[in-house]
């Protein structure tokens, strides 16, 4: 990809407003809310739900090959193998520090505003049981072992990010060791990546339909009344997430030399897609592409973004500590300072198994509660009815945090192109044009 031609090749100054993807997605989300509210019978039709589910499946089908090609290509282009390990260590250190801030902020806000006292909601014990059953697989030992795939083909078939990432790293190192003999394979992988980004560009044209279907079904299924039961928790969670992005991530961005608000504006397309689908994975491929255009080096993007989707879930961390305190307050269980410190440690471990897809935060919450205090697990039914409305905020915070992490690690590694960063933050790029950026490089 050419650092000089990419930004200019993707700018569309004369495009009508109604042809801009983020405008289409925003309109689709608004229409989805209206249809779900005024015509719930229509909105809950299985074909309407299929619009959202289908779009997410279209995106997920290309995530594994994109991660594989990007990571392998990034490592294979590096001459020094130690650099890969250095970038990985820096990323993990950053993840742990920032994740700790997210967890602590959730605890502080939850203690300052105990909205769970005297609050109740309709329970759904059967639905909660399904999540608790999935949470059994979140044990640390099982999580580590599950990173190793039973077969490479199986990892790609299931779309398991960490398993594909592990194989890609090993394959990249192997390709690097081949030297000149590996150039043909490396060039082939680069060409495959270009082709897959072209597929993404086609799929992204369906984003408005996916956002409409997902939002209409959500509002139609749960209804506006679902928000009133736990409005305090929802508002508190959203405010805490905004506070984290503006203050914590904003301060980190300032130290790294860029403005968090300009960065959010730069990835607004991806944020709106995430808002409509409740899945941060739905915007992963185009986020990686836009971060490269922003001036982050390809190896850093290829390593940090996929890893961050399992190790840097800031929104999920805030949710877990805030929801744990809320449930404890709602069921009348007093948590001592020692219990709350335990929450920090346990949540730090259980959050590593979340993949950024819809419901992952609720699964990790089940794992956290079962370890901290089993008496809290039945209380999950209290927040289940509105968890869907909080999953959007989790996903938005997660993708923003991973974007900032990539820029920071690139800066830390000394591979952030300041010229491209400053220029790109003032340029609007349509994800539907991603194939133009790829082919011109």
Tens of pLDDT along 29-47? 888 888 888 888 888 888 8
Compute the average pLDDT of residues 344-371: 62
Q: Which of 13-27, 97-111, 125-139, 145-159 comes out lowest in average pLDDT?
A: 125-139
Compute the average pLDDT of residues 48-69: 80
Compute the average pLDDT of residues 92-115: 90
Percentage above 70 pLDDT, the chain:
74
pLDDT band at 358 (very low <50, low <70, confident <90, very high): very low
Q: Which two tokens stand for residue 202?
A: 């086609």
User: Residue by residue, what is the 3-state secondary structure of 41-108?
Assistant: HHHCCHHHHHHHHHHHHHHHHHHHHHHHHHHHHHHHCCCCHHHHHHHHHHHHHHHHHHHHHHHHHHHH
Q: Is residue 426 part of a domain?
A: yes
The confidence score (pLDDT) of residue 148 equals 85
pLDDT band at 242 (very low <50, low <70, confident <90, very high): very high
Provide the CATH number for the domain around residue 141: 1.10.3860.10
Q: Is residue 415 part of a domain?
A: yes
Compute the average pLDDT of residues 69-84: 73
The confidence score (pLDDT) of residue 123 equals 47
- Residue 322, CA distances (Å) to 256, 312, 325, 329 in order: 29, 17, 5, 11
Q: Does the pLDDT at position 369 exceed 80?
A: no
Q: Is residue 107 part of a domain?
A: yes
Compute the average pLDDT of residues 376-382: 70
Q: Is residue 1 part of a domain?
A: no
Q: Is residue 150 part of a domain?
A: yes
Question: Each residue of 198-211: b (16+ CB within 10 Å) or e?
Answer: ebbbebbeebbbbb
The confidence score (pLDDT) of residue 254 equals 94
Q: Which two tokens stand for residue 203?
A: 């799929």
pLDDT band at 122 (very low <50, low <70, confident <90, very high): very low
Q: 335 and 375 in contact (C-beta within 8 Å)?
A: no
Q: Does the pLDDT at position 120 exceed 60?
A: no
Compute the average pLDDT of residues 361-390: 68
Domain around 344: 6-440
Q: Does the pLDDT at position 223 exceed 80?
A: no
Compute the average pLDDT of residues 422-440: 57
Compute the average pLDDT of residues 170-198: 84
The confidence score (pLDDT) of residue 439 equals 37
The confidence score (pLDDT) of residue 246 equals 95
pLDDT band at 129 (very low <50, low <70, confident <90, very high): low
State the chain's mean pLDDT as an integer. 77
Token pair 């689709």 in the structure block, residue? 28
Q: Of 351 and 246, which is predicted with more confidence?
A: 246
Number of domains in the chain: 1
Averaging pLDDT over each range in 112-121, 151-160, 232-241, 274-283, which range is the top one?
232-241
Query: pTM to 2 decimals?
Result: 0.67
Q: Is residue 184 part of a domain?
A: yes
The confidence score (pLDDT) of residue 337 equals 83
Averaging pLDDT over each range in 9-23, 160-174, 352-366, which range is the top one?
160-174
Q: Is residue 94 part of a domain?
A: yes
């Amino acid at each position: 990809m050419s650092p000089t031609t990419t930004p200019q090749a993707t700018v569309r100054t004369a495009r009508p407003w109604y042809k801009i993807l983020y405008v289409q997605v925003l309109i689709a989300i608004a229409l989805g809310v209206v249809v779900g509210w005024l015509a719930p019978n229509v909105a809950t039709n299985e074909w309407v739900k299929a619009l959202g589910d289908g779009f997410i499946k279209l995106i997920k089908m290309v995530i594994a090959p994109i991660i594989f090609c990007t990571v392998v290509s990034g490592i294979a282009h590096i001459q020094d193998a130690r650099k890969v390990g250095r970038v990985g260590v820096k990323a993990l250190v950053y993840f742990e520090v920032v994740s700790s801030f997210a967890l602590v902020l959730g605890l502080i806000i939850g203690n300052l505003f105990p909205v769970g006292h005297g609050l109740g909601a309709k329970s759904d014990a059967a639905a909660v049981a399904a999540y608790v059953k999935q949470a059994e697989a979140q044990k640390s030992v099982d999580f580590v072992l599950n990173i190793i795939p039973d077969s490479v083909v199986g990892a790609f078939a299931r779309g398991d990010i960490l398993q594909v990432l592990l194989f890609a790293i090993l394959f990249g190192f192997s390709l690097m060791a081949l030297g000149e003999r590996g150039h043909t394979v490396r060039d082939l992988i680069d060409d495959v990546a270009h082709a897959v980004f072209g597929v993404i560009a086609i799929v992204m044209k369906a984003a408005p339909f996916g956002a409409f279907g997902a939002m209409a079904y959500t509002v139609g299924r749960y209804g506006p009344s679902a928000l009133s039961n736990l409005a305090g928790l929802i508002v508190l969670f959203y405010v805490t997430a905004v506070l984290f992005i503006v203050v914590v991530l904003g301060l980190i961005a300032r130290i790294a030399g860029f403005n968090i608000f300009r960065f959010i504006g730069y990835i607004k397309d991806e944020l709106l897609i995430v808002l409509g689908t409740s899945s941060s994975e739905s915007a992963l491929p185009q986020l990686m592409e836009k971060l490269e255009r922003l001036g982050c080096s390809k190896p850093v993007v290829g390593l940090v973004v996929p890893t961050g989707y399992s190790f840097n879930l800031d929104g999920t961390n805030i949710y877990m500590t805030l929801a744990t305190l809320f449930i404890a307050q709602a069921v009348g269980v007093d948590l001592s300072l020692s219990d709350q410190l335990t929450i920090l440690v346990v949540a730090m471990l259980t959050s590593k198994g979340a993949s950024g897809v819809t419901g992952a935060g609720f699964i990790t919450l089940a794992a956290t509660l079962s370890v901290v205090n089993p008496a809290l697990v039945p209380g999950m039914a209290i927040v289940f009815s509105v968890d869907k409305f909080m999953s959007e905020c989790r996903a938005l915070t997660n993708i923003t945090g991973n974007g900032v992490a990539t820029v920071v690690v690139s800066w830390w590694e000394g591979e952030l192109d300041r010229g491209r960063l400053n220029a790109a933050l003032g340029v609007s790029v349509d994800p539907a044009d991603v194939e133009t950026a790829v082919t011109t490089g």
